Amino acid sequence: MIAALHISGDVADELTFVKYALDEHAIVATTDLAGTIVSVNAKFCQISKFSAEELVGQNHRIINSGRHPKAFFVEMWKAISSGSTWRGEICNRAKDGTLYWVDTTIVPIRHTGGPLLGYVAIRADITEQKLAQEKHLEEVNAELRRKNAELEQYVHSVSHDLKSPIVTILGFAGMMRKNLGEGQMERLADNTERIIRAAGRMRCVIDDLLELSRVGRTSGEVGDVDLSEAARSVLEELRERITAAGIRVEVGSPMPTIRAERMRVWQVLQNLVINAVHYGSTAAAPVIEIGASRLGDTVTLYVRDNGKGIAEEHHERVFGLFQRLERKGAGGTGVGLAIVRRIAETHRGRAWVESSVGAGSTFRVSMRDLVSEESADAKALAEGNDGEQHE
């Protein structure tokens, strides 16, 4: 560009070239000191959808969108009328009513030492970026609202499920005190048992909640977890309960390994198997099947029982916090499947159930290999020169 100007050597030509280039790039307008439009270029007409005839002689307010507070333009006028260049993002309104955003520089013009003559405004269309920004903001807002609602629900559930055993404990303790005062001893043993059970339930709820809150927060040891081995160890731990319920367990083989937090994989299997033992053991010949397969970086595992199954309208509910399909005391604390789902989500996967009444249930959990920063580096190295190219 500069070289080209030197070749021409003619100042008038230089200005023509610069103006030509500027008109190709930017939205340009000049106004007098009162803001009346003196000239506009083609890009100005194109974006504002007014013709040059419609614009020239009009006040610049003709494209005011009303989206900026008065103070915004007061500040702008204060700057340019005192001879300073102003720069900012303005939302304008086109002839057809649509809004557009322009990154704007307004330069006051004057001869050296002379009074202000008018203003030149050079603008670039940034509507798309602005819309993308607004969209992103809306998405973030929606996500925040969702999280807030989730948190509210969480606090709500927790306060209910912790308060409930307290009502029981204080209730039966109060009853005991009354009975003791009246010399009635026959219900003492029963009441004591109820109090102990309620306190135990409370402890379980607290333990489970603590566990749930740890998922995704602690960064446990990430490694290659052999699912066959994990299943074996979970089954070993639960062997007594499984045997007592007369359940036959079939473990598919081979099962893949997954790069994950060992403890979390173990927890997923443990919760699903406990669930299957509990709800599946109603079958005449109860069977639990465990299996897993890998597709790309995603491992999907399943635990299937042949119990009474779950009606479709409850398929989502079972993963909710403190949601049980059986009455209190009959099932667990209602946290197990919520933990499973959260673990799946922290491994960029999901947890769901396939089931219908009378047909058993298949719980499936997909998890993607965790990629630690260390292993990403290792991968880049293993793939050859990639690392060098980035440097």
Partner 1 sequence: MTVSNMNEARPVQFLLVEDDEDHAELVRSVLSDYRVANLLDHVWDGEEAMAYLRREGKFAGSPRPDIILLDLKLPRMDGHEVLAEIKNDPKLLSIPVVMLTTSDAESDRIVAYSHYVNSYLVKPVDFTRFSDLIKTLGLYWSVWNAPPPPPR
CB 135 within 8 A of CB 44: no
Is there binding between residue 171 and partner 1 (CB under 8 A)? yes
C-beta of 79 vs 158, nearer to partner 1: 158
What is the C-alpha separation between 374 and 372, in angstroms, rounded? 5
Q: What's the angle, vertex CA 285, arms to CA 282 and CA 291, rounded to 5?
A: 90
Q: Which DSSP state fits 3?
A: H
310 phi-psi bin (left φ>0, alpha ψ -120 to 50, beta other): beta
Q: What share of the chain is helix, strand, coil (3-state, %, to 5)?
A: 50, 20, 25
- Kindly state whether residue 167 participates in binding partner 1, applying the rule CB under 8 A: yes
Judged by CB under 8 A, the residue of 6, 70, 327, 390 near partner 1 is: 327
CB of 378 to partner 1, least distance (A): 48
Torsion sign across C-alpha atoms 293, 295, 297, 302: negative
Shortest distance (Å) from residue 311 CB to partner 1: 8
Stretch of 193-201, 266-274, 297-305, 366-374 lying at the interface with partner 1 (CB under 8 A): 193-201
Q: Is 308 in the site for partner 1 (CB under 8 A)?
A: no
Q: Is 320 in a helix, a strand, or coil? A: coil
Question: Is residue 326 at the binding interface for partner 1, with CB under 8 A as the rule?
Answer: yes
Beta strands (DSSP E) in 263-350 are: 287-295, 298-305
Contact between 384 and partner 1 by CB under 8 A: the answer reads no
Q: Is 10 left (phi over 0), alpha (psi -120 to 50) or beta?
A: beta
Distance (Å, whole) CA 43 – CA 351: 53
Binding-site member from 30, 36, 300, 323 for partner 1 (CB under 8 A) = 323
Stretch that binds partner 1, among 104-112, 288-296, 318-326, 383-391 (CB under 8 A): 318-326
Q: Which stretch binds partner 1 (CB under 8 A): 9-17, 91-99, 324-332, 355-363?
A: 324-332
Site size for partner 1 (CB under 8 A): 29
Please report, as residue ranges, which positions from 147 to 166 form the binding site for partner 1 (by CB under 8 A).
Answer: 152, 156, 159-161, 163-164, 166
Least gap, CB of 159 to partner 1 (angstroms)? 8
Question: Which one of 69-77, 96-104, 211-219, 316-324 is the stretch in contact with partner 1 (CB under 8 A)?
Answer: 316-324
Of 272, 288, 292, which is closest to residue 338 (Cα–Cα)? 272
Residue ranges binding partner 1 (CB under 8 A): 152, 156, 159-161, 163-164, 166-168, 170-175, 194, 197-198, 314, 322-329, 331
